[in-house]
Each structure stands twice: as C-alpha cells, then as structure tokens.
Homo-oligomer: A and B are copies of this chain.
Amino acid sequence: MPKSNLQTRDDDEQEEKAVPTNVSGQRLKSFLERIERLEEEKKALAEDIRDVYSEAKSLGFEVKIMRKIVSLRKTNVEKRREEAELLELYMSAIGMAE
C-alpha cells in the first residue's frame, strides 16, 4: 500500500511540519492513536483479570464458580440500575421528573 493519508500504516512518525498536509488527516490520526492506546490498556486489563483467575485456580478455587458469582453480582447491579431508570420513567410519565 502506498503512502496514504488515511493512516493505515502505523510507523511513520515524520513530516510534522513542511507539507501542508490536510489538518483533518492529522486530527484523525490523533483520534486513532488515542483509541489504540486505550484499547491496549483495555487488553492489558483483560489479561490481568485472567491472571487473577489463574492464581485463584492454582490455589484450588474453581474458576467456573467464580465466574458465575461475578456474573451474578454484575446482573444484580444492572438490575438495580434498570429499576432506577424505570422509576425515573414513571416519574417523568406522571410529570414529576426532577
């Protein structure tokens, strides 16, 4: 692939100045880099989580059960949040919002 201002290549760090290359391209590049940085962090966290499970497993805990518990607690939290939203909907429906 030849030079492209859509930034499919990730290793050209030159040309900061001279060329009046279009601004939105720079802008886009910046966004993409931010996103990729964040995704890397996210991926790292996913690995950390796996590591914790591994550690627990090595100490004799059952991963499957742990996952289930985590999942259940999560749905509890979500349910509560949704109930709150429902309540808000009721309130706004009867003109008592805010």
Say how many copies of this protein the assembly contains. 4
Q: Which A residues between 46 and 75 are near B, CB-CB below 8 angstroms?
A: 46, 48-49, 52-53, 55-56, 59-62, 64-66, 68-75
Contact between A34 and B52, CB atoms less than 8 A apart: yes
A49→B33 CA distance, assembly (Å): 11
Tell me how many residues of A have a C-beta within 8 Å of chain B.
54
Given the known interface contacts A9-B60, A66-B31, the answer about A71 and B82 at a Cβ–Cβ threshold of 8 Å is yes
Of B31, B36, B93, which one neighbours A73 at CB under 8 angstroms? B36
B8 and A66 contacting across the interface, CB-CB below 8 Å = no
Tell whether A26 is near chain B: CB-to-CB under 8 Å. Answer: no
Q: Which residues of B contact A24 (CB under 8 A)?
A: 60-61
